[in-house]
Amino acid sequence: MNDYDALRARIRALTDGETDEVALMATLACEIHHSDERFDWTGFYRVVAPELLKIGPYQGGHGCLVIPFSRGVCGAAARTGEVQIVADVDAFPGHIACASSTRSEIVLPVFGKGGRLIGVLDIDSDRPDAFDAEDATRMAAILEEVFDGI
């Protein structure tokens, strides 16, 4: 299980004063990915046009390059503005299989200043049912702290 307090402290120290979205995403992707053995792929998809996500900084194997808001778990998080926790990706209608090893995932919307949707944070696991409400709550708090003023 993740030590979210230590992760939050490391991220706070590394990102203090930084305002560049891509630099922040790159730092978070690295720190989050290496913080927990459940995390098989960790990355951001950025909003680059209306209803369209494009891959941003990530750790792990290749990700999908473009995801419309209308497709997959990442699209659902962007479209609804709500965290998506998927215990079994094969049971999620319209799941986009970017990696065959993915069994479960959590996707969190990332909001900037004024509630502007910047993108989503996608974390995949090669284990089924790897994520829970605590992961969602603790990860959302980190994202809010880092991106809220951007």
Do the beta carbons of residue 125 and residue 104 sit within 8 Å?
Answer: yes
Average pLDDT for residues 96-114, to the nearest whole number? Answer: 91
- Give the Å distances, CA to CA, from 134 to 45, 83, 85, 114: 22, 12, 11, 25
What's residue 94's pLDDT?
Answer: 78
Report pLDDT for 3.
95
Threshold 0.95, pTM exceeds: yes
pLDDT digits (tens, 9 = 90+) for 31-90: 999 999 999 999 999 999 999 999 999 999 999 999 999 999 999 999 999 999 999 998
Residue 11, CB-side half-sphere exposure with 13 Å CA sphere: 28
Tell me the residue range of the domain where 110 lies.
4-147
End-to-end CA distance of the chain: 30
| pLDDT at position 1 | 66
**Across 19-26, average pLDDT:** 98
Question: In DSSP terms, which residues pair with 108 in a beta bridge?
Answer: 121
pLDDT of residue 90: 87
Query: What CATH number is given to the structural domain containing 101?
Result: 3.30.450.40
Per-residue model confidence as pLDDT tens digits over 134-149: 999 999 999 999 999 9
CA atoms of 97 and 30, how far apart (whole Å)? 22
Place of tokens 């299980």: 1
Q: How many domains does the chain have?
A: 1
Whole-number Å distance between alpha carbons of 106 and 121: 8
